[in-house]
A and B are shown apart, each in its own frame.
Chain A
Amino acid sequence: AAGVIQSPRHLIKEKRETATLKCYPIPRHDTVYWYQQGPGQDPQFLISFYEKMQSDKGSIPDRFSAQQFSDYHSELNMSSLELGDSALYFCASSPRGSGGPQSYEQYFGPGTRLTVT
């Protein structure tokens, strides 16, 4: 079965640089979520999109922005990178519009490991 695809898998950037993370949800999934997981931490919700509209916003810094495109893929743009942004960034998708219990399940991608030096 198709899974959530994230690219790149690894990214190394220097302080003050910008980074763009991409997420391709499972086909027919209309909702995308972004999470940040620091070392030894649980995933922290950043932002979500449903049908290309921002659905909810969590602890996302103002330096970060995201959007969902017409093909449902999503991009997380990170500017003025700081050392503290080094983390594993997960994208998850769900079939929210389908209704039923399965619409509440989130399927995670393999993550993008961002290292800021």
Chain B
Amino acid sequence: AQTVTQSQPEMSVQEAETVTLSCTYDTSENNYYLFWYKQPPSRQMILVIRQEAYKQQNATENRFSVNFQKAAKSFSLKISDSQLGDTAMYFCAFTPIYNFNKFYFGSGTKLNVKP
């Protein structure tokens, strides 16, 4: 069974500072993809970043980067230079390569960026 755990229900950060959101997962699969999605108050789910498990290099997208530790099954998201528009719910998601029919989501972390 695949499970995704986000242990931080809520976090706060000051504007322009850096924050890291944690995600761990459990799987017996060796090949899979990991994602971070952002859900702002509008409730739209927006893809933030993708990481392929077979790649050792951590993915980056502008101010967003990940720290992927495959052995530890850890996939954290770092947001640099936080902006007010980053305020949202952030979901970590996992999909195995053999069966990319569905995402397994974590319970989410609510991030508040304060001015």
Partner of B50, one of A55, A58, A105: A105
> Is the CB of A7 closer than 8 A to any CB of chain B?
no
> Is the CB of A103 closer than 8 A to any CB of chain B?
yes
Nearest CB in chain B: distance from A96 CB, A:
7
Nearest CB in chain A: distance from B103 CB, A:
6
Given A42-B91, A43-B91, A45-B103, also A105-B35 (CB < 8 A): yes
> What residues on A are CB-neighbors of B103 within 8 Å?
33, 43, 45, 106
Indicate if the CB atoms of B101 and A90 lie closer than 8 Å.
no
Given A42-B106, A101-B52, A104-B33, also A48-B45 (CB < 8 A): no
**CA of A101 to CA of B43, assembled, Å:** 25
> What residues on B are CB-neighbors of A17 within 8 Å?
none
> What residues on A are CB-neighbors of B101 within 8 Å?
33, 48, 50, 55-56
> Which residue of A is nearest B32, CB measured?
A104
Q: Pick the 4 closest A-B CB pairs, nearest first.
A: A56-B101, A108-B45, A42-B105, A45-B102
Specify the main secondary structure of chain A where it touches its partner: strand
**CA of A45 to CA of B100, assembled, Å:** 12
Partner of A108, one of B44, B52, B106: B44
Chain A contributes a number of interface residues (CB within 8 A of B) equal to: 27
> Which residues of A in the span 60-117 have a Cβ within 8 Å of any Cβ on B?
88, 90, 92, 94, 96, 101, 103-108, 110-111, 113
> Is the CB of B28 closer than 8 A to any CB of chain A?
no
Indicate if the CB atoms of A104 and B108 lie closer than 8 Å.
no
Indicate if the CB atoms of A104 and B100 lie closer than 8 Å.
yes
Central interface residue in B37, B46, B102, by most chain A CB within 10 Å: B102
**CA of A6 to CA of B95, assembled, Å:** 24
Nearest CB in chain A: distance from B18 CB, A:
25
Indicate if the CB atoms of A43 and B45 lie closer than 8 Å.
yes
> What residues on B are CB-neighbors of A55 within 8 Å?
101
